[in-house]
Amino acid sequence: MAKIIDGKAIAAKIRGEITAEVAKLAASGVTPGLAVVLVGEDPASKVYVSMKEKACKDVGIFSDEYKLPADTSEKDLLILIDKLNHDPKIHGILVQLPLPKQIDTEKVLEAISPEKDADGFHPYNVGRLVIGKPLFQPCTPYGVMVMLKEAGVELAGKEVVVVGRSNIVGKPVAFMCLQQNATVTLCHSKTRDLAAKVGMADVVIAAVGQPEMIKGAWIKEGAVVIDVGVNRVGEKKLVGDVEYAAAAERASAITPVPGGVGPMTITMLLYNTLESAKRR
C-alpha cells in the first residue's frame, strides 16, 4: 500500500518557515506585500481570492485586494497593474484568472512586471524556467516539486510521465523535472496509448481535469503518483485525475485529493512573494 504524501502537513511546515522569515524581514523594515486583483463575480475565483488573502494574513504578508466589476475595461485593468508595478509596498501581483471576455488575458499577464510576477506566468519568467534559470516559478508545479523533495523522491535518471500540457501546470512541471535530470514524457489529448506511457513511469504527474481518468491498473508497481487534478463529482465530493484506491495499491507513494497538491499552491504563492520582497 502506498505511502500518502500529505500536502497539508508539508504546506503547514513551509508556511511555518515563511511566517518566521516574514517576521525577520519585517523587523528589518520590509513587509512583503501581495496585490490580489479579482475582476467579476466568478464564485470559484472569489473563493480562491479569499483563501489567498487569509493565507497572507496568517503568515504576516500584507495583502492589498482590488475587487473590480465584471465590466471593467482592459485599459482600466492595465492602468491598475501599472500603478501596482510602481508601488514599493507591493512585491507580488496576482491577477485571478479567468478574466472576463472583453479583456485579453495574455496582454494583462505581460503587463505585470516580471519582477512582481508572483504567479510566474509572464513570458519572461516562463523563458527563464525553460533555460533552467528561474526567477518566479508557477505555484502549482512548484508545489509539486517541493512535495517530491519533501517525500524524498530523487528524480535524476527517472522516467517521469506528465499527463496534461497546460501552461500553468503540465508544461512547467515537465521543465522542472527535466531540470532535475529526469527523462520526461509530456502527454496530452492526442497521445497514443496513454496507458502504456503511464505504465513506464517511475513518477506520474496527472494534470488533466477529468475525474479518475488515469486508471490504477496502469500504474507501475512502486511508482510515485502526484495527482494535481481537482474534479467535483456530485454535490460535495472532490476526486483527482487518478483512480486513487486502485493506484494506491500499486504505487509506493501517492498524493490524495483533497489534501495533496491543493494546499501547496497557495503556499508557494506566499513563498514567491516573500522571495520577491527579499530580492528588493
Q: Which residues bind ligand NDP (CB under 6 A)?
A: 140, 163-166, 168-170, 187-191, 194, 207-210, 213, 228-231, 261-262, 265
Spell out where 80-215 has E strands: 92-95, 159-163, 183-187, 203-206
- Residue of 6, 119, 202, 241 marked active site: 119
Catalytic residue among 6, 96, 158, 241: 96
**Of 59, 53, 55, nearest in space to 19 by CA:** 59
Which C-beta is closer to ligand NDP: that of 39 or that of 162?
162
Minimum CB separation from ligand NDP for residue 274, in Å?
A: 19
Can 119 be counted among the known catalytic residues? yes
How far, CA to CA in Å, does 47 sit from each of 41, 51, 140, 170, 274? 10, 6, 17, 24, 23
Cβ of residue 264: shortest distance to ligand NDP, in angstroms?
7
> Is 171 among the residues known to form the active site?
no
Establish whether 227 is a catalytic residue.
Answer: no
Which among 278, 277, 272, 213 is positioned nearest to 94, based on CA atoms? Answer: 272
Look up cell 492602468; give the residue.
79
CB of 189 to ligand NDP, least distance (A): 3
Q: Which is nearer to ligand NDP, 108 or 226 (CB)?
A: 226
What is the spatial distance between Cα 6 and Cα 275, in angstroms, rounded to a whole number? Answer: 24
Of 25 and 94, the one with the shorter C-beta distance to ligand NDP is: 94
Cβ(6)–Cβ(147) below 8 Å: no
**Where in the sequence numbering do the catalytic residues fall?**
52, 96, 119
